[in-house]
Chain A
């Protein structure tokens, strides 16, 4: 027996392939959306992995430092460092803000880190690590900065000395790493006008500006313009100790909150990404329905175009199931082309997306199964129409 489906397609391959192409692009978009979701989860995982921390110590009753803002004193880390099981403890600050590069500005997460401690990027793709204690930066390539660029963060300019990759916030913003003290200042100090305004208010306050106590006003202004807060302390647990146990120890301080890696992942994925993942889930459903509709429409049209041939075939003795199988095979063939083109397209245009698109092999397999199922379901419309054809219409037409 010859393949009726194959012959029919070969007879007019252009339309079939073009539809496959269109379907493929739609499927590619679907894959990309799923990839965006996976990328977001990966962003979160990568964020946690790249920090090099086993524990995050943050302000009590907050989900910080990523999901919520958290503020703790910068000398707390000393006490944590002295606790059993703690190998390293380092201050870290995070602030999402605009970073100037020439005329343009880029939205980035500015991270304040201490060299050699958790919080520093683990690997570079160009340049070197920061060697000076101020005004040098390591940036993620997604920011668009190049080695040697002078970028502006708040009041100072920083030289980009190193570039890294996959260092992004859970919101997809590229990270820029600067020395901790500079980051503390950036997080706190406002622009010149605000500072001048603040000074004027303080001077105008008679309880603060006492003539009988020279130097009081200066001391107050100095304390106003200094920042001794950080957003979190990153802790690396020593070998042989369980992070959970060390976390319990720190929690007993009562005025701090501690999260292990698993807890942080849950916070990021379940809470931070929850809304976005619902949106993406809806998009996937809609795109699947649209793809099914397209397949159904095309196969239905192809079948309607063959109604007379189907009547003749039925009359001369072709099984209903042979005809149904022909239609089904065409639908599956369309799905195969669409899947292949979709997967290839998604891989090719994935890197061009502003967010990280992660396409997993498991997703490709699942996607293939879904495409095939959708094609089977979509072909039922055409199959029903074909089965309803009365062979008698071939006679006397």
Chain B
């Protein structure tokens, strides 16, 4: 009976002891495994030889290469507009018309002046003919009288009179010819005036300079517009391209001819192939961007100007170089480098980087060798004195 009672009591003390020991162990575990005393967890990866397919990235807007502003050359009132936004027009098609105002009457008066001038010209021409025939007559008479004079038939005064009549007739011819020339010059002037007035009247007709699509209708019939103000805007849908803006710091290798992929904001699932057709000689110094123009191989249907696009420009692939993930890059001051993991210790190694692709693979030019183990992810900033433990992943969820 005594033994049974003993065995009942011991468990309680044992339980208490177990509890106490468990508490101490938990306390010790807590102290070493967490908090500032615990080692930093990192993941490592090897430096591998691989290809880097660098690419540039920029956003841009879809533009038309050429846009036309259709408007009058002088202030006037819009009389009618014949097309609307979205209409396709052909070169020479009448798109709108301005109010002629007094232009018609000016044309009529100029026409009348021109016809009057023509009559004046004809009159002058007739007078020239008349003067010429008189001159011919006077010349023949003078010749006859001179002959007669030489024969002594007529008096010298009559011969002189006949010669004088001939000279006078010549002078009249000259005068008549001059008058004719003057009338002709006048005529030319009046013709030019007429041409000008007609031209001005023609300018109230606004016609399409090229085949294209109307993109904007800016003035309605009845509104007054000044010279230079557009009534309609036109562009050639076949001349649509993308104006891309690239950060100046990340635009190395930008040349004409680079192949591109364009993703339109309105259609993010498809990308359209194209190429760089122009690199603008002027950059934007305020936003620190370079500009390039990218043409589509095949213009996507239904594209609109002003639409946002994301453009990836493919640079030539660089093969068989040392690469690491750009997550391994750390910065000490302005110096970039990586944490080399060797013999369980960490060492900061400065590196020079080369090309980088859009998925984060970076070319290493020097500082590392193939097979070196470098830190990729870490829980904290690392220092030379950091205690580390290598794990396979830091738990950042990924897809």
- Chain A residues 121-139 with CB under 8 Å of chain B are 122-129, 131-135
| Docked-complex contact B16 and A13, CB < 8 angstroms | yes
Of listed B23, B24, B57, residue having the most chain A CB within 10 A: B23
Partner of A147 from the list B34, B357, B399 (CB cut-off 8 Å) is: B399
Per-residue CB proximity of B357-381 to A under 8 Å, as 1/0? 1111000000000000000111111
Instruction: Say which one of A245-253, A271-279, A298-306, A335-343 lies at the interface with B.
Output: A335-343
Give complex CA distance A274, B138 in Å: 127
CA distance A347 to B396 in the complex (A): 22
Does residue A261 face the partner (Cβ distance < 8 Å to B)? no
Question: In the complex, which residue of chain A has the Cβ closest to the Cβ of B43?
Answer: A125
Determine whether the beta carbon of A123 is less than 8 Å from that of B287: no
Q: Are A147 and B398 in contact (CB-based, < 8 A)? A: yes
Q: What is the count of residue pairs linking A and B with beta-carbon distances less than 8 angstroms?
A: 139
A10-B16, A88-B334 given; A146·B398 CB < 8 A? yes
Chain B facing A: main interface SS: mixed
- CB of A125 within 8 A of CB of B377, answer yes
Chain B contacts of A132 at CB under 8 A? 57, 358
Among A52, A133, A348, chain B packs the most CB atoms within 10 A around the CB of: A133
Contact present for B397 and A147 (CB under 8 Å) = yes
How many residues from A make CB contacts under 8 Å with B?
Answer: 55
Whether B246 contacts A133 by the Cβ 8 Å rule is yes
Q: Give the residue name and chain of the A residue nearest to B327 (CB).
A: A124
B191 within 8 A of A: no
Whole-angstrom distance between the Cβ of B361 and the nearest chain A Cβ: 9
Alpha-carbon distance between A49 and B381 when the two chains are bound, in angstroms: 9
- Whether A87 touches B333, Cβ cut-off 8 Å, given contacts A131-B360, A228-B286, is yes
Of B97-105, B164-172, B224-232, B269-277, the one touching chain A: B224-232
Q: Is B326's CB under 8 angstroms from A129's CB? A: yes
Contact of A13 among B12, B35, B58, B331 (CB under 8 A): B12
The reply to whether the CB of B7 lies closer than 8 angstroms to some CB of chain A is: no
Residues of the B chain whose Cβ atoms lie less than 8 Å from the Cβ of A134: 57-59, 310
Q: B382, A123: Cβ atoms under 8 Å?
A: yes
Whether A396 sits at the interface, judged by CB under 8 Å, is no
A181 CB-CB contact with B under 8 Å = yes
Whether A116 sits at the interface, judged by CB under 8 Å, is yes
Q: Known: A125-B379, A166-B380, A361-B36. Is A340-B226 also a contact (CB below 8 A)?
A: no
Q: Once the chains are docked, how many angstroms separate the CA of A90 from the CA of B356? A: 21
**Known pairs A125-B378, A341-B23, A343-B30; A360 contacts B36 (CB<8 A):** yes
A88-B334, A361-B35 known; A133 and B398 CB under 8 Å?
no
Additional A-B contacts beyond A13-B16, A126-B397, A133-B59 (6; CB < 8 A): A10-B12, A125-B377, A126-B398, A131-B356, A134-B59, A134-B310
Can you list 11 A-B contacts (CB < 8 A)? A122-B330, A128-B325, A129-B326, A132-B57, A134-B59, A181-B287, A211-B229, A340-B26, A358-B35, A359-B34, A359-B35
* Shortest Cβ-Cβ A-B pairs, 7 listed: A126-B396, A128-B360, A147-B398, A146-B397, A163-B396, A148-B399, A125-B394
